[in-house]
């Protein structure tokens, strides 16, 4: 057995959801929305299951979805990609990430990562033979800085794995940080694998800026998105990858032996959904921003110290002012004694974890959020 996987604990999301089920807690841990997703998109999938093609679709994805992906990114992010050679459909962003690392990393290559980091990254990097070089980001702003990047990059850097907006901190990196990172990628001739699954979930008038759009990044970026976050359908696992043809040819080789394809009916529904009018996407983020504001105000009223949330489904609190220094113990108590499941952010650090931040998912009905607030009262 390979120890990289054999020695891994079960992912914190699964552990917390199981605990929430077992204890009857309000589950604000794992990031999934209460919103059932747009009905027309779900109907399209149902129709495609009954009346459509249910055999293997083309390996790179349904042509209609590849075209819809290209048109969607042109409309929302000003990117111009060729659907025939620069777009690939994957079974979720997770497959895209695994495939990109398998395809791009050679044993001994260095991979720059940013902590806190999504928990899938490090095992995948290690299993690909990559040597992780961690940039540690810290509260309250979790920004990039030049000295930290200079310490992480070297002549052996091959890949930079960058998540923006950042789960779990809800950071949307400003242009200045993106420009700094792009400069390092160019200087060290590194490929940026950009996990941008949260690109549509940005608040307060923000518009997502893809690293791929920065000067010199077009041909050295692998951009990953996911329909799960765009349509509040996290179980669908339909992802997409944009990359220039030389990179895409290699990524396709990994994809062909990881999953080969993705259910055609879900692809057809996502193709339809990506073409929805701007107002759908705007309403989705406005609804989420309202939930964020409601939950954040509720937490503040209870006396919690709430960190800024510029995007994603997540809101973090700083537990240090409560005299707490162990987020895992705090979350254990929260779920077992108070009936609210949350995620300790230390789970997103590989070494030297920040232990004072706790993540809540606010993509829930008002009733669920209020129930959670009720249970949290008296804690701060």
DSSP assignment of 110-173: EEEEEES--TTHHHHHHHTT-EEEEEEP-TTT----HHHHHHH--TTEEEEEEESSBTTTTB--
* 295-354 positions binding ligand GLN, by CB under 6 A: none
CB nearer to ligand PMP: pick between 105 and 373: 105
Selection from ligand PMP, ligand GLN, none that 195 binds (CB < 5 to 8 A by kind) is ligand PMP
* 170-229 positions binding ligand GLN, by CB under 6 A: none
- Cis peptide, bond prior to residue 101, ω within 30 of zero: no
Number of residues that bind ligand GLN (CB under 6 A): 5
Hey, is 214 helix, strand or coil?
coil
Residues at the interface with ligand PMP (CB under 6 A): 31, 92-94, 118, 163, 167, 195, 197, 226, 228, 234, 237, 239
- Strand pairing report for 157-163 and 110-115: parallel
In the complex, which residue's CB is closest to ligand PMP? 92
Q: Pick from 167, 226, 296, 356 the residue near ligand GLN by CB under 6 A.
A: 167
Shortest CA distance to 95 belongs to which of 58, 124, 56?
Answer: 124
Q: Pick from 20, 26, 27, 31 the residue near ligand GLN by CB under 6 A.
A: 31
- Each residue 10-29 as x (binds ligand GLN by CB under 6 A) or -, in order, gives -x-x----------------
Shortest CA distance to 211 belongs to which of 79, 113, 324?
Answer: 79
Residue where the block lists tokens 């765009």: 230
Shortest CA distance to 198 belongs to which of 215, 223, 177?
Answer: 223
Contact between 30 and ligand GLN per CB under 6 A: yes
Selection from ligand GLN, ligand PMP, none that 237 binds (CB < 5 to 8 A by kind) is ligand PMP
In the complex, which residue's CB is closest to ligand GLN? 31
The nearest distance, CB 354 to ligand GLN, in angstroms, is 17
Contact between 169 and ligand GLN per CB under 6 A: no
- The string over 205-228, giving b where at least 16 C-beta atoms fall within 10 Å of a residue's C-beta and e elsewhere, is eeebbbbbbbeebbebbbbbbbbb
The number of angstroms, rounded, from the C-alpha of 29 to the middle of its chain's C-alpha atoms is 15
Q: Which residues bind ligand GLN (CB under 6 A)?
A: 11, 13, 30-31, 167
């Amino acid at each position: 057995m390979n120890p990289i996987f054999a020695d891994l604990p079960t992912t914190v999301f699964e552990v917390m959801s199981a605990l929430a089920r077992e204890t009857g807690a309000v589950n604000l841990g794992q990031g999934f929305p209460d919103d059932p997703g747009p009905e027309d998109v779900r109907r399209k999938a149902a129709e495609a299951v009954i009346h459509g093609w249910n055999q293997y679709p083309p390996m790179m994805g349904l042509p209609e979805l590849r075209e819809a992906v290209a048109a969607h990114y042109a409309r929302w992010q000003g990117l111009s990609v060729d659907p025939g050679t620069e777009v690939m459909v994957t079974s979720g962003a997770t497959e895209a990430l695994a495939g990109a690392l398998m395809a791009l990393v050679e044993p001994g290559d260095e991979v720059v990562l940013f902590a806190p980091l999504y928990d899938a990254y490090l095992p995948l990097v290690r299993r690909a033979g990559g040597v992780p070089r961690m940039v540690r980001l810290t509260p309250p702003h979790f920004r990039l800085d030049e000295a930290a990047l200079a310490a992480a990059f070297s002549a052996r850097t091959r890949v930079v794995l960058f998540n923006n907006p950042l789960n779990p901190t809800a950071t949307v990196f400003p242009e200045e940080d993106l420009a700094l990172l792009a400069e390092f990628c160019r200087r060290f001739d590194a490929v940026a694998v950009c996990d941008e699954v949260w690109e549509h979930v940005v608040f307060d008038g923000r518009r997502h800026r893809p690293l791929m759009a920065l000067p010199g990044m077009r041909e050295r970026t692998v951009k990953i998105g996911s329909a799960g976050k765009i349509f509040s359908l996290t179980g669908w696992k339909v992802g997409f990858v944009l990359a220039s043809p030389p990179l895409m040819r290699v990524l396709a080789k990994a994809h062909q032996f990881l999953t080969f394809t993705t259910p055609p009916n879900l692809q057809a529904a996502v193709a339809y959904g990506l073409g929805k009018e701007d107002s759908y996407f705007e309403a989705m983020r406005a609804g989420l921003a309202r939930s964020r504001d409601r939950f954040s105000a509720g937490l503040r009223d209870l006396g919690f110290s709430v960190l800024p949330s510029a995007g994603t489904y997540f809101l973090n609190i700083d537990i240090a002012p409560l005299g707490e220094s162990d987020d895992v113990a705090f979350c254990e108590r929260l779920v077992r004694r108070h009936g609210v499941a949350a995620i300790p952010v230390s789970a997103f650090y590989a070494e030297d974890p920040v232990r004072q931040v706790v993540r809540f998912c606010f993509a829930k009905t008002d009733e669920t959020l209020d129930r959670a607030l009720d249970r949290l009262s008296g804690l701060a």
